[in-house]
């Protein structure tokens, strides 16, 4: 019983971060129909950002998120405005290939600058895990979990309550109708892409103290992202949150009850089953 609770808890902790990455990917897909293969590399940016902050600036990684969120937002604006904007009209497959190129470019650029060494971030206050009710909770993951929830709530408020948020949701539902209603679709697209990038990057900052850092970490993360957003239905924000948490829990239960080496495969098997039998996602809200 204790192992069961333990694995549910660890699953929820990582799941909250998966959810953040997935939400970024899903809003981008919803508004622009871009399947962004470079999304994982944005997470990698965040991870290296956290690493740079603690090594060179001596700023705690969790505080450094205040620097990296706006920076990532501007990187997103730049990437969309100067690289992606002209590709989007060429169709989903061309953007898929283009972002795959972008992903390889970014990952290898970082590989050249930072080399392929595995790096870790050590925090002074994170040596011993917390032990509420006999369950072990690593401190960095607990902080990351709290911040992920705060960011997700803030994002939700933004999407539901503000005009820009409403414009994003409208464009995602029906771009032409949104344009007719006076939504500036171009501007919405830029903001959405930048927002998605900022989310991925901040998830990277939060994940950095709990994972190994290496330049091609984005490759595996982006594959997980796809699992998450397809589970929840492509284009759906609540779906991506649920999908992220679900994947986290499934992986951690799988590691305990199925086998550690196959824990990553479980996610992909579920992914294939969902794609084949419920292509609009587990909750039936996504679009194909």
- The span from the CA of 268 to the CA of 66, in Å, is 34
Those residues whose C-beta lies under 8 Å from the C-beta of residue 64, and which sit 6 or more positions away, are: 49, 50, 53, 54, 57, 205
CB 58, min distance to other proteins, A: 29
Q: At what angle do helices 185-207 and 2-32 cross, to 10 degrees?
A: 150
Residue among 60 and 264 whose Cβ is closer to other proteins:
264
* Alpha-carbon distances of 259 from 2, 12, 90, 271, rounded to whole Å: 18, 19, 43, 18
- Check: CB of residue 192 under 8 Å from CB of residue 32: yes
Those residues whose C-beta lies under 8 Å from the C-beta of residue 113, and which sit 6 or more positions away, are: none
Residue among 4 and 212 whose Cβ is closer to other proteins:
212
CB 72, min distance to other proteins, A: 20
- The span from the CA of 22 to the CA of 223, in Å, is 11
CB 229, min distance to other proteins, A: 10
Residue among 128 and 288 whose Cβ is closer to other proteins:
288
CB 130, min distance to other proteins, A: 32
Partners of 213 in beta bridges: 119
Residue among 164 and 280 whose Cβ is closer to other proteins:
280
Specify the DSSP class assigned to residue 129.
P
The residues binding other proteins (CB under 8 A) are 35, 83, 86-87, 90, 92-94, 96-98, 100-109, 111-112, 115-116, 216, 219, 223, 226-227, 230, 259, 261-262, 264-265, 268-269, 271-272, 275-276, 279, 288
CB 10, min distance to other proteins, A: 20
Residue among 206 and 274 whose Cβ is closer to other proteins:
274
């Amino acid at each position: 019983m204790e192992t069961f609770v333990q694995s549910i808890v660890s699953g929820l902790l990582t799941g909250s971060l998966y959810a953040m990455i997935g939400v970024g990917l899903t809003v981008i897909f919803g508004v622009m129909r871009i399947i962004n293969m470079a999304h994982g590399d944005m997470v990698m940016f965040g991870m290296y950002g956290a690493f740079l902050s603690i090594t060179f600036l001596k700023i705690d990684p969790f505080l450094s998120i205040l620097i990296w969120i706006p920076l990532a937002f501007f990187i997103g604006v730049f990437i969309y405005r100067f690289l992606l904007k002209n590709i989007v009209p060429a169709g989903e497959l061309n953007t898929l290939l283009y972002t795959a190129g972008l992903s390889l470019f970014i990952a290898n650029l970082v590989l050249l600058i930072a080399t392929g060494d595995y790096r870790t971030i050590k925090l002074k206050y994170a040596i011993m895990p917390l032990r509420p009710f006999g369950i072990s909770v690593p401190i960095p993951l607990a902080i990351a979990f709290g911040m992920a929830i705060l960011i997700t709530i803030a994002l939700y408020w933004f999407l539901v309550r503000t005009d820009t948020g409403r414009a994003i949701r409208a464009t995602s539902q029906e771009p032409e109708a949104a344009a007719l209603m006076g939504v500036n679709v171009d501007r919405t697209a830029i903001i959405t892409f930048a927002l998605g990038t900022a989310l991925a990057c901040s998830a990277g900052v939060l994940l950095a103290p709990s994972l190994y850092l290496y330049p091609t970490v984005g490759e595996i993360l982006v594959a997980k992202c796809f699992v998450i957003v397809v589970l929840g239905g492509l284009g759906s924000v609540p779906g991506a949150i649920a999908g992220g948490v679900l994947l986290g829990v499934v992986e951690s239960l799988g590691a305990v009850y199925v086998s550690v080496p196959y824990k990553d495969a479980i996610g992909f098997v579920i992914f294939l089953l969902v794609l084949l039998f419920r292509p609009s996602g587990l909750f039936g809200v996504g679009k194909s």
